[in-house]
């Protein structure tokens, strides 16, 4: 504890050593460290070295506020009207990169990189705004906390190597347990919190964690002690082994033509750091499958050196993903057992593999199965009986948080890896908690913005198309919304949200009203007509039939049927369906034809393309379905952003439902506001990373003004 660290009231260069006598003892005792200072660089933490060991073990958290050093050209750009935030971030990254290049920075930098990767370090930038001029934040305060007490300090030392070692510095220390220090310590702590939340007069504070993360993590990887991951090639450097070594036959091994990107290598490194458990939150299209197989190959090799065979079980949502994973696993040197459909087709082979591993006859084995087969009794019995080393890889791991599956996760799996772009379950805290309890925390994260910046995904333009509900649709929307409100009120906001629950059914029905809005079809025709000569187009339709067809027992075509007729007969564009009823062989043929771009211009689908299907050739996506679930629209965006030869950018056309402009519907103003908030949330998410962000948001400006939605 901090009380036991023997910290004095003052430290001065002529009477002691600030690092050895103050920083290290405080870090060894603290669980939280807050620092606000001018010229902060990572070299300060690198210098702390051993002090971070205990801090890491206690799950320590660091918050840092710094002010970048502005050079003359930075100031000139700000005065010339350049984006202030961009200039400040660039200056701060320059400071950070320069500090990391110092020879002394290597010491402890790997530990800082681990903290950053685990989300336990946050950075913010502070600057002064006064009389239309930008100035430096130059205060120097810090706080150590241990859960009971705090130690605050302030003084002349900057968080730089010269500031902590080379200069003549002094700091004053205030300990909360000392009566004479308590008020000052608490006041400094409140000052920091005000800074952190940008509540300090004259100062502005900007988030900087994501910008700094790449620099710090890369430097940490470059300087950290090497592990067995040295066998994984860095992006751009192909594997030099011409053939698999004799002692790796019968195991998963890295294919000689595989190029693993730096971020994939970092993901595997982090997973091993967490003892082979954790979740990868990686944007759709960034190579989760190959990253997971690189981890599995490395684990197989490491256990093989100890004569411990490894069984790898991969669980995926759908049968076509079993086939897709199996193809990738073959590249890694093994033929997996595909476990789905009739039990007698796979059960004897899986049973034989299990016995072979137990007897040491086989060195490794891989099974790929669907969520359904995984949860059924025969597969569960095999898992329960297996006593050897077991790695469970869950693709689209969020699905395994469902109530019927999370109890099936095998407790005897020593190694666990979950993959998902969005591991959190929508409106299901219990399911999300079950996932993290089983797999562990998120150990690596690659968001879509970062993936686009580093070239893992292509850039895109986003075009929202506004369409109105007709009067009949608006009336039904109001009716369903009223029922939802009553049900929520009756349950005091805690109504069950299971798929089969009354509230879940009503929410789906309301979403379907938006997804099936009739005006979308005319709008789609106009958009397709402008691109009727282009190939590689995806069209996502709403599921099922229009809610009004069910409501009034009408026999009208589905939206997908109407789109197929429009594209084929109406616009004479070769198109094919890709839905759950399409058999496996036909699906594969559709994707092959689509990839060539010669005889198939468009693929029309519903949910079937949402999870895991590789269609990198896609260049244009039309989103007719209006889901408020972030997972769905994030995955659909990712489908069209995968890289492919000759593909630099993609287009996303999103059909946004708005209230009737004539005001003749039953929609009330507040209901309209709520509906628009849901639609605008998706637009803002898509627009935020698009090349044409400003133009996109301008389209919404009249509606924002009309409904007073400039706060959303």
238-453 and 459-469+518-707: same fold? yes
The segments of the chain whose pLDDT lies below 70 read 16, 39-51, 79, 81, 98-111, 130-133, 156-168, 218-250, 361, 426-427, 492-500, 608-613, 626-634, 662-669, 710-712
**Which residues have C-beta within 8 Å of that of residue 570, sequence separation ≥ 6?**
525
pLDDT at site 239: 31
What pLDDT shows up at residue 629? 58
Among 429, 368, 379, 449, CA closest to 408: 379
Q: Among the CATH numbers 3.90.650.10, 3.20.20.60, 2.102.10.10, 3.40.50.300, which is that of 238-453?
A: 3.40.50.300
Residues 6+ apart with CB under 8 A from 12: 169, 170
Under 8 Å between Cβ of 659 and 466: no
Residues 585 and 588: their CA atoms lie apart, in Å, by: 5
Q: Hey, which residues does 175 pair with through a beta bridge?
A: 151
659 with 672: CB under 8 angstroms? yes
pLDDT score for 499? 59
Class of CATH domain 459-469+518-707: alpha beta
- The rounded Cα 501 to chain-centroid distance in angstroms is 29
Q: Is the Cβ–Cβ distance between 703 and 676 less than 8 Å?
A: yes
- Cα four-point dihedral sign 407, 411, 413, 416: positive
CA 655/CA 528 separation, integer angstroms? 13
pLDDT for 415: 96
> In this predicted structure, what is the pLDDT of residue 133?
67
Nearest to 579 by CA among 524, 539, 537: 539
What predicted TM-score, i.e. pTM, was given to this entire model?
Answer: 0.58
Can you identify the CATH homologous superfamily of domain 2-214? Endonuclease Chain A (3.30.870.10)
Domain ranges in the chain are 2-214, 238-453, 459-469+518-707
What is the per-residue pLDDT for 223?
A: 53
| Burial grade of 579 (CB within 10 A; 0-12, 13-18, 19 or more) | middle
Closest Cα to residue 632, out of 383, 326, 422, 447?
Answer: 422
């Amino acid at each position: 504890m901090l009380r036991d660290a023997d910290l004095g009231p003052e430290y001065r260069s002529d009477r002691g050593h600030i690092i050895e006598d103050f920083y290290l003892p405080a870090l060894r005792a603290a669980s939280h460290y807050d620092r606000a200072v001018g010229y902060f660089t990572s070299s300060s933490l690198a210098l702390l070295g051993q002090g971070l060991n205990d801090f890491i073990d206690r799950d320590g958290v660091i918050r840092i506020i710094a002010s970048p050093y502005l050079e003359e050209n930075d100031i000139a750009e700000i005065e010339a009207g350049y984006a202030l935030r961009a200039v400040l971030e660039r200056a701060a990254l320059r400071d950070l990169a320069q500090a990391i290049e110092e020879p002394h920075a290597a010491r402890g930098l790997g530990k800082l990189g681990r903290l950053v990767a685990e989300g336990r370090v946050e950075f913010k930038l502070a600057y002064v705004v006064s009389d239309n001029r930008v100035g430096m934040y130059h205060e120097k305060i810090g706080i150590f906390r241990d859960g009971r007490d705090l130690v605050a300090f302030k003084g002349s030392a900057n968080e730089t190597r010269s500031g902590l070692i080379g200069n003549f510095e002094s700091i004053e220390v205030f300990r909360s347990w000392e009566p004479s220090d308590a008020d000052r310590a608490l006041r400094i702590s409140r000052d920091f919190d005000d800074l952190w939340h940008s509540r300090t007069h004259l100062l502005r504070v900007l988030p900087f964690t994501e910008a700094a993360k790449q620099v710090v993590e890369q430097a940490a990887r470059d300087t950290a002690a090497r592990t067995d991951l040295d066998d994984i090639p860095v992006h751009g450097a192909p594997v030099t082994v011409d053939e698999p070594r004799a002692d790796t036959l019968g195991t998963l091994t890295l294919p000689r033509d595989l190029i693993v990107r730096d971020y994939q290598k970092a993901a595997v490194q982090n997973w091993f750091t967490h003892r082979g458990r954790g979740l990868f939150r990686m944007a759709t299209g960034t190579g989760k499958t190959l990253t997971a197989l690189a981890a599995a190959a490395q684990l197989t090799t490491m256990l093989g050196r100890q004569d411990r065979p490894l069984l790898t079980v991969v669980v995926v949502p759908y049968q076509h993903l079993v086939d897709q994973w199996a193809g990738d696993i073959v590249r890694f040197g093994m033929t997996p057992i595909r476990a789905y459909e009739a039990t007698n087709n796979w059960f004897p082979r899986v049973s034989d593999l299990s016995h072979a591993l137990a007897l040491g006859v086989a060195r490794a084995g891989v099974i790929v199965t669907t969520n359904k087969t995984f949860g059924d009794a025969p597969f569960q019995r095999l898992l329960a009986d297996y006593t050897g080393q077991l790695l469970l890889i869950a693709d689209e791991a969020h699905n395994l948080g469902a109530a019927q599956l999370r109890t099936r996760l095998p407790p005897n799996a020593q190694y666990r890896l979950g993959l998902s772009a969005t591991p959190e379950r929508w409106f299901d805290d219990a399911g999300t908690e079950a996932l993290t309890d089983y797999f562990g925390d998120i150990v690596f994260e690659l968001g879509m913005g970062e993936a686009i910046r580093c070239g893992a995904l292509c850039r895109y333009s986003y075009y929202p198309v506004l369409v109105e509900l007709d009067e009949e649709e608006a009336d039904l929307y109001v009716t369903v919304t009223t029922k939802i409100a009553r049900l929520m009120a009756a349950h005091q906001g805690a109504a069950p949200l299971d798929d089969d629950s009354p509230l879940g059914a009503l929410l789906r029905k309301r979403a379907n009203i938006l997804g099936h809005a009739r005006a979308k079809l005319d709008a789609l025709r106009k958009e397709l007509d402008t691109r009727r000569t282009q190939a590689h187009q995806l069209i996502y339709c709403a599921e099922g039939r229009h809610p009004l067809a069910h409501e009034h027992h009408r026999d009208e075509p589905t939206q997908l049927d109407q789109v197929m007729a429009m594209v084929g007969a109406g616009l004479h564009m070769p198109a094919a369906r890709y839905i759950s009823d399409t058999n496996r062989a036909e699906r594969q043929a559709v994707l092959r034809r689509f990839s060539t771009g010669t005889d198939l211009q468009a693929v029309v689908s519903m949910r079937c393309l949402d999870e895991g299907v590789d269609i990198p050739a896609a260049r244009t996506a039309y989103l007719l379905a209006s889901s408020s679930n972030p997972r769905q629209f994030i995955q659909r965006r990712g489908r069209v952003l995968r890289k492919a030869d000759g593909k630099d950018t993609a287009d996303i056309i999103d059909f946004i439902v708005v209230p009737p402009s004539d005001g003749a519907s039953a929609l009330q103003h507040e209901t309209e506001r709520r509906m628009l908030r849901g639609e605008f949330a998706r637009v803002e998410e898509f627009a935020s990373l698009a090349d044409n962000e400003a133009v996109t948001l301008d389209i919404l400006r009249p509606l924002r003004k009309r409904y007073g939605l400039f706060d959303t």
